[in-house]
Amino acid sequence: MLAKPGKKTVRKEAETCHIRRRFLQIGLGATASLAMPNAFAGVIKQPERSIALLNLHTGEQVKATYWAEGQYQPDELSAIHRVLRDHRTGDVHDIDSDLIDMLNLLHQKMHGKQPFHVISGYRSPKTNAMLSKNSSGVAKKSLHMQGRAIDIRLPGRELSALQKTAQQMKIGGVGFYPGSDFIHVDTGRVRSWQG
């Protein structure tokens, strides 16, 4: 029969476990910061992060300071999610905060003066299936359905310059659609294509 550990032994094991856990948290945080693309380094230092969007299908606009006081602002994010909803079905979906940060950084790098014009934000599976039947340029497993992709243009800036700047950021996918006057950006793997 095994003896029960004393209170001191249990407390010491708990303290050791807490120290290990804290060490792992610090190590994971440091690893994550090393793995983070350099492009995001500028975003992290901002005391506030804002984005301005105009949905071309609904005419709705949002100008939101979505990051303040060291954290994301839920009400501002909700306003962004609403403007980027599937305009065909009305479905609202959370938009990846990394995508919003990417847009913030892209707007800064382009010295944008106007809101991004949004051609497509979130797409419901129903809308995506319908679009992929009618166009070979729509992926069946599009990141739009996960809130991780957006199709945009920036008034006052050349589309090719927007595309090149997005590619140089090396954050995710960048598609160039000059015939339709937009670029696609997403938070998937780094890649580029022309449609």
CATH of region 41-194: 3.30.1380.10
More confident residue, 21 or 69: 69
Residue 34: per-residue pLDDT: 46
Q: Which residues pair with 64 in a beta bridge?
A: 51
4-58 pLDDT per residue, tens: 556 555 455 555 544 554 544 444 444 444 444 555 555 566 689 999 999 999 9
Sketch the domain layout of the chain as residue ranges.
Answer: 7-35, 41-194
9: CB partners within 8 A, 6+ apart: none
Q: In terms of residues, how long is the chain?
A: 195
Please answer whether residues 106 and 115 qualify as being in contact, where contact means their C-beta atoms are separated by less than 8 angstroms: no
Q: How far apart are CA 99 and CA 113, in angstroms?
A: 20
Q: Which two tokens stand for residue 35?
A: 């793995």
Q: What is the pLDDT of residue 100?
A: 98
Place of tokens 């804290």: 22
* pLDDT band, very low/low/confident/very high, at 128 (cuts 50, 70, 90): confident
pLDDT attached to residue 23: 46
